[in-house]
Amino acid sequence: MRAYYYDDEPTDQRLPHDSGEPVSLDTLAHLGVLYWTIPVAEGESIPEGVDAIAKQRGYKNRDVINVSKEGLGDAYESKIKGFFEEHMHEDEEIRYILGGSGFFDVRKHAPAPNQERWIRIFCAPGDLIVLPSGIYHRFTLDTNNKIKAARLFQQDEPKWIPHNRGPATDSNPYRAEYVATIQPVSVA
């Protein structure tokens, strides 16, 4: 995993967009983003270390998603577009990367919207990331155009409904609870 501020250049979303300004694990933790590295071998099932974290955090269920042209078929283009829309969920988003790679962008909350910045998090095999309920985020593949990830969740049926950013979502109780748990961090 590597985290840094997004450069906001209007080019292909799958490019690194590295501003050259690294972001620490402490900054991510302040935003509620949790991270572990648990090595996985090519073709290996989910390692015991992931099971231990799942048990500790109360994740009871899981599935595996293959985000690629082959894995999503005709829905590929619409899914990729939808994943990159700024949104939040009412549940945590938990992903363990089994293969491929991609980027999770999280919105660094600030006192005013014009002070917010995207933080880009590059994830590759062995990375386990937890995005808290209520955080604005988006996802894209990198130029390899594929990622295979285990999705862990607490309920039988996760509430992965994306709530795109807007006035209604800004006042969503899960968003309000998230904002109340963090204090704005000044933008460098």
- Residues 142 and 64: their CA atoms lie apart, in Å, by 19
Does the structure show a pLDDT above 60 at 45?
yes
Q: Where are the domains of the chain?
A: 6-181
Residue-wise pLDDT for 72-81, tens only, equals 999 999 999 9
Query: Would you say residue 184 has pLDDT above 80?
Result: no
pLDDT > 80? residue 2? yes
Ramachandran region of residue 90, left (φ > 0), alpha (ψ -120 to 50) or beta?
A: alpha
Give residue for tokens 């999770």: 104
Question: Does 70 score more than 80 pLDDT?
Answer: yes
Residue type, 68: S
43 — pLDDT class (breaks 50, 70, 90)? confident
Q: Kindly report, residue by residue over 4-41, the tens digit of the pLDDT.
A: 999 999 999 999 999 999 999 999 999 999 999 999 98
What is the topology classification, in CATH, of domain 6-181? Jelly Rolls (2.60.120)
| 109 marked among binding-site residues | no
95 has pLDDT over 90: yes
Tell me how far apart the alpha carbons of residues 129 and 135 are, in angstroms, rounded to a whole number.
Answer: 13
Q: Where are the alpha helices (DSSP H) in the chain?
A: 25-30, 48-57, 69-72, 76-83, 167-170, 173-181
pLDDT attached to residue 183: 66
Q: What's the mean pLDDT when you consider all of the chain?
A: 92
Secondary structure (3-state) at 117: strand
How far is the CA of 22 from the CAs of 1, 49, 117, 125, 173, in angstroms? 12, 27, 13, 21, 31
Q: Which residues neighbour 167 within 8 Å (Cβ) at sequence distance 6 or greater?
A: none
Q: In what order do the strands lie in the sheet with 61-68?
A: 34-37, 127-131, 93-100, 146-153, 61-68
Q: pTM (2 decimals)?
A: 0.92
Task: Average the pLDDT over 47-72 and give the result.
Answer: 93
- Give the mean pLDDT of 44-52: 90
Mean pLDDT of 158-164: 82
Residue 79's identity, in one-letter code, is K
Q: Which amino acid is at 124?
A: A
Place of tokens 């962008």: 105
**Interval 68-74 mean pLDDT:** 94
Q: 87 labelled as ligand-binding?
A: yes
Residue with tokens 């829905």: 75
